[in-house]
Copies of this chain bind each other. A is one copy, B any other.
Amino acid sequence: MTRLRDLGVVPGYLPTGPHNAITDVPGVRVGHVTLISGEGRLTPGTGPVRTGVTAILPHDGNLYRQKVAAAAKTINGFGKATGFEQIRERGVIETPIILTNTLNVGRAADALVSYMLRDNPDIGITTGTVCPVVGECNDGFVNDIQGRHVHQEHVWQAIETACDGAVAEGNVGAGTGTQCFQFKGGIGTASRHVGAFTLGALVQSNYGLRRDLLVLGAPIGRHFLDKLLPQPGPGSIMMVLATDAPFDSRQLERLAARAAFGLARTGSFCQDGSGDFVIAFSTANPWPHDALPDDVQMVTRMAESGTVMDDFFLAVVEAIEEAILNSLVAAQTLTGRDGNTLFAIPHDQLVELLRRYRRL
């Protein structure tokens, strides 16, 4: 797997974590299940299958019992992500975050409910219910999306195999069949250190017109227009931010708002049909599900004086930009239903162009 920095390209100023991945935030784990089967002509409901599921786990305890502070930000709401109303009201996430394809959100949400019930058998009986958080992109250009091939077993497997350390990128998990500026895209991740804290990003890229692709500001996309076959229109992007800094949900929403600025650096103008969503969480100061003996807790809080917010905002922009470019660089050419093909961006030409534009 090639990453952006393997090509010598370094976006931004801030230092990365050891894996340059969302998993650099202590406790955060990622799992993928990739579903590829069948070839040739689309038979709706049957295949070919080019899809998958990605799970992001904020910590390794019981998330329902120890919820993480969170925010959801909608940049463009043409999408079917679910769970946002409760994130906004209560400022927490209480399940793993699941990414999959658009039409599979219902099934993935249901599978996630099943998973939560297994570990919390009191849900709906002697305690409240549970709010599954699922995001999505449309991979229907290569995948039998009507078939909704991500089943409960796949969601559970993604959760249960989630691990820390390096994260697979490109055509994996929820990024198996997605595109990025009409190249093959998929999953990408990156991280930044901000003082003693870490900020990580993971994206499921599926948006953009090739004409518009920028890499470090250079107009790369327009040099590939002659090879542009009929391809999907703009899709969407799911962006997940994690940090161990003790931000509250309002502050996390401020961080999430900066994801748009990282997205814009790659050339997006946030198309009408794009569901562009951000989910941000902090692993610090979890919120207990069960009643406490005392309603008042002592917690840490990030000040908003000085430059602390700007340091994190820049980290968000850099990490989102790099995660997207990683999703692009790591992806490999994929042919799906009806022979529809998403081509990987050629690394050598990308490097050459970056040199020509003096960005390398």
Interfacial residues, chain A to chain B (CB-CB below 8 A):
42, 44, 74-86, 88-91, 102-103, 105-113, 117, 121, 123-125, 128-132, 138, 140, 145-146, 148, 195, 214, 216-219, 234, 246, 248-250, 254, 257-258, 260-261, 263-265, 268-273, 275, 277, 285, 287-292, 295-310, 313-314, 316-317, 356-359
Contact = CB atoms under 8 A, between A and B. Distances in A.
Contact of A306 (B91, B269, B291): B291
A300 B76 CA distance: 24
B74 A85 contact: yes
B270 A291 contact: no
Contacts of A140: 124-125, 129
A129 B80 contact: yes
25 contacts: A44-B121, A77-B86, A77-B88, A78-B90, A79-B85, A79-B86, A80-B131, A82-B109, A90-B304, A103-B117, A103-B124, A109-B109, A124-B140, A124-B145, A216-B217, A217-B217, A248-B248, A250-B250, A269-B313, A271-B309, A272-B309, A287-B304, A295-B308, A299-B300, A357-B357
B75 A86 contact: no
A300 B303 contact: no
A289 B305 contact: yes
Nearest to A289: B305
Q: Within the oligomer, what is the number of copies of this chain?
A: 4
Contact of A102 (B124, B234, B297): B124
Nearest to A88: B77
A290 B305 contact: yes
A242 B106 CA distance: 26
Contacts of A112: 106
Contacts of A301: 285, 296-299
A132 B103 CA distance: 9
A258 B80 CA distance: 21
B303 A287 contact: yes
A287 B251 CA distance: 13
A138 B264 CA distance: 26
A316 B269 CA distance: 9
A2 to B, nearest CB: 23
Given A306-B291, A306-B295, A317 B88 contact: no
Given A218-B217, A357-B358, A124 B109 contact: no
Which interface residue of A89, A103, A308, A309 has the most chain B CB atoms within 10 A? A89
Nearest to A234: B310
Nearest to A236: B129
Nearest to A72: B85
B250 A248 contact: yes
A86 B277 CA distance: 11
Contacts of A138: 124, 128-129
A109 B102 contact: no
Contacts of A74: 85, 88-89
Contacts of A123: 103, 146
B291 A305 contact: yes
